[in-house]
Amino acid sequence: MISFVKGTVSDIGENCLVVENGGIGYAIYMTGQDLGKARIGDEKKIHTFLYVREDILQLYGFFSKDDLGMFKLLIGVNGVGPKGALGILSGISADELRFAVLSDDVKTISKAPGIGKKTAQKMILELKDKLKLEDAFEMKLAHQQEEAAEGASDLRDSRQEAVEALVALGYSSADALRAVRKVPEDVPADDVEAILRAALKNF
C-alpha cells in the first residue's frame, strides 16, 4: 500500500498528475480542483490510494487527507468505483458530501457527474451510519480555518476560483482546467474576472 507520494510535479495530464520521486514517475489520478493547484516543478505531497484489479494498478490521490478518507468511503458503496468516486469529489467537496448524506439531500449529491437519483439514495443509505454530524461540523470548521490561514496571498487561489467558476457554468473539470492553464502569465494573477475572461477565449 502506498500511503502517500512526495516529489516533484513533472507533468500534468487531463486527469492525472505525474510526480517524480527517486527517479520514478508516479501517475496519480486526481480531481480537477486538485490538478488546478499544481504546477510543473512544484514539490507536492499527495495522499494516495492504490487500486488493484486483475491487470490494473492505479494510484488515486488527494492533497487533503480528508478527501482521501471520503474517497475510501465512497468506493465502499456498492456500484461506485474509483473513477465514480473521483467524479463525485470533483463535483462536491468532502464537507458538502458529508452534510448532504446526513441530511438526506439527494438533490445535491445528484449534481455530481454520473450520479443519478438512485445512486445518490444508495450512497445516503450506505454512508449515513458511517458519518456523524458533530464530526462534519468539526471538519468544516477546521477547513475554514486552514483556508483563512493560507490567506488570499496564494495567487493560485485565483486560478482555482476561475476553474470552479467555469465548472459552475457547465464546463467539465478537465475542459475548465485546460482553458485556465492556457491563460497567459501577463494576466493579473489575483484578478479572477480577468483570468475567467481570458480562459473563456480558449474554448
Shared-domain flag, residues 42 and 117? no
My answer on whether 71 and 141 are in the same domain is: yes
Name the domain count of the chain: 3
Q: Hunting for cell 462534519 — which residue is that?
A: 136
Domain CATH for 195: 1.10.8
Calpha distance 112→78 (Å, rounded) = 17
What is the CATH number for 127? 1.10.150.20
Q: Are residues 86 and 46 in the same domain?
A: no
CA distance 7 to 28: 12
Residue 36 and residue 160 in contact, taking contact as beta carbons nearer than 8 Å? yes
* Domain boundary, last residue among 62, 85, 104: 62
- Name, in order, each residue with C-beta under 8 angstroms of 103's C-beta and a sequence gap of 6 or more: none
Is residue 130 scored above 90 in pLDDT?
no
Q: Quick one: 37 and 56 in the same domain?
A: yes
Nearest 5°: the CA angle 32, 48, 64 is 60
pLDDT at 159 over 50: yes
For residue 72, which phi and psi values (nearest 5 degrees)?
-65, -40
- Residues 85, 145 within the same domain: yes
Whether the per-residue pLDDT at 115 is higher than 90: the answer is no
Question: Are residues 145 and 74 located together in one domain of the fold?
Answer: yes
CATH code of residue 46: 2.40.50.140
Residues 94, 79 within the same domain: yes
In percent, the amount of the chain with pLDDT more than 90 equals: 33
Per-residue pLDDT tens digits for 80-111: 889 889 989 988 888 888 898 999 999 988 88
pLDDT tens for each residue of 6-31: 999 999 988 899 999 999 999 999 99
pTM (whole model) above 0.85: no
Query: Which structural domain, as residue segments, surrounds residue 187?
Result: 156-200
Q: 8: closest CA among 22, 50, 29, 160?
A: 22
Residue with cell string 454530524: 133
Q: What is the pLDDT of residue 114?
A: 76
For residue range 26-84, what is the model confidence (pLDDT) as tens digits?
999 999 889 988 999 999 999 999 999 888 889 999 999 999 999 999 998 888 889 88
What is the per-residue pLDDT for 156? 60
Reference 77, options 120, 107, 47; nearest CA is 120
